[in-house]
Amino acid sequence: MVITTRHALADGREILYFDETPVTRVATDRRDLPHTTTASETRFDPLLGEWVVFASHRQTRTFLPPADLCPLCPSTPERATEIPESDYQVAVFENRFPSLSTTVTKVDATVEGSPLTPLREGFGRCEVVCFTSDHDSSFARLDPARARLVLDVWAHRSAELAEIDGVAQVFCFENHGEEIGVTLSHPHGQIYAYPFVTPRVAKISENLARHRKAHGGNLFEDLLTTERASGRRVVAANAEWTAFVPPFARWPYEVQLYPHRRVADIPDLDDAQREGFAALYLDVQRRFAHRFDTPMPYIAAWNQAPTVRSGAPRAEWWLHLQLFSIRRAAGKLKYLAGSESGMNVFISDTTPETVAAELREVTA
């Protein structure tokens, strides 16, 4: 059972606490904060058929503060942070510097001087998910119970955000490591509620339909079935989930985690699937952390179906998690240079079969 407590921060942003057992949460935000303003907008790229978000106000966001000034640590009598409580298990709050916001003024126009470029408001919601109050921890260091609680929080927030009129897709993710570009080192992730279906999900949906028409099956299911049968690229598995390096991996180190039974999104996961995920994900996380002398920087990205309100197809979607790193070798990073950044054609420095074998050999 997850206990949820809601409060408001000094500037009106919402904060939620999630606990495994009842805890009294009455601390108030004593800071004198100006009201959060958002100047986000989205512009449509007619060449690629994709929306681009502009959020210039984020230039002033907090950048790599020292540990004693971390805004995600619990508040103390001497210093108030984004978390008013003196301790917490998992906390979620609206981002102070959001890329998207539900309070933006509605716009339906084109960019000045460019009638081919539709312009819309930057509608949506951005939340910060703090996995633990321990500043020096990481997801890989969480115990199974806390990892399960974080998954339950992702499910809770995904379900609630999907009910907002105008939200088409909910994206839960974690950026880990300075090389990835994190601006706060405290263990945390983020959730974006987009007003459109993202390019990745839209493209996959098109290929799902194409595969169904050509072969009569679900592309996700066929991929999972063949990878489990082959085993060459499987890193770890349990009764509910399989983690494997995709045979077409773009990133030097990339693992995808699939539940054995199809669900469209995180809220759809049943209790057995949630327990199985927590165990397997911690296993894979620790393999990433110990593959080299220092933990790998990574991005963990949940691939959920578009929301019901979006009207986009959901029936074929198979929830999965991508975990990938830009580290290609000890002390070496993969930079997205000409081919990747210019043409979106990835050139890999590793092979999926070798990476899978290396990760299987890691002992945490």
Based on the fold, state whether residues 209 and 317 are members of the same structural domain: yes
Q: Would you say 352 and 241 are in contact if contact means Cβ atoms under 8 Å apart?
A: no
Residues labelled as active-site residues: 188
Strand 188-194 relative to strand 169-176: parallel, antiparallel, unpaired? antiparallel
Based on the fold, state whether residues 123 and 205 are members of the same structural domain: no
Q: Would you say 193 and 124 are in contact if contact means Cβ atoms under 8 Å apart?
A: yes
Going edge to edge, which strands form the sheet with 320-325? 3-8, 14-19, 90-94, 125-130, 188-194, 169-176, 298-303, 320-325, 253-259, 241-244, 234-237
State the pTM of this model.
0.97
Domain extent, residue 15, equals: 3-197
Based on the fold, state whether residues 103 and 245 are members of the same structural domain: no
CA angle 202, 204, 207 (to 5 degrees): 115
Tokens of 159: 């379900």
CA–CA dist 209, 276 (Å, integer): 29
Based on the fold, state whether residues 182 and 216 are members of the same structural domain: no
Last residue of a domain, one of 150, 165, 197: 197
Last residue of a domain, one of 177, 197, 217: 197
Cβ count near 292 (within 10 Å): 16
What are the C-alpha distances in Å from 278 to residues 2, 69, 323? 15, 31, 14
Q: For residue 65, which amino acid is it?
A: P
CA distance between the termini of the chain = 30
Total number of domains in the chain: 2
Residue 164 belongs to a domain with what CATH number? Answer: 3.30.428.10
Half-sphere exposure of 342 (CA within 13 A, CB side): 4
Based on the fold, state whether residues 88 and 114 are members of the same structural domain: yes
Q: Could you read off the pLDDT tens digit of each residue along the chain, which spans 364 residues?
A: 899 999 999 999 999 999 999 999 999 999 999 887 778 999 999 999 999 999 877 766 677 789 899 999 999 999 999 999 999 999 999 999 999 999 999 999 999 999 999 999 999 999 999 999 999 999 999 999 999 999 999 999 999 999 999 999 999 999 999 999 898 999 999 999 999 999 999 999 999 999 999 999 999 999 999 999 999 999 999 999 999 999 999 999 999 999 999 999 999 999 999 999 999 999 999 999 999 999 999 999 999 999 999 999 999 999 999 999 999 999 999 999 999 999 999 999 999 999 999 999 998 6
Tokens of 81: 């942070």
Provide the annotated binding site for Zn(2+).
70, 73, 135, 186
CA–CA dist 108, 42 (Å, integer): 10
Based on the fold, state whether residues 175 and 232 are members of the same structural domain: no
CA–CA dist 287, 236 (Å, integer): 10
126: closest CA among 97, 105, 153?
A: 97
Eight-state DSSP code of residue 309: G
Q: Which residues, other chains included, contact 321 with Cβ-Cβ below 8 Å and sequence gap of 6+?
A: 256, 257, 281, 300, 301, 302, 303
Q: Would you say 102 and 96 are in contact if contact means Cβ atoms under 8 Å apart?
A: no
Based on the fold, state whether residues 147 and 234 are members of the same structural domain: no
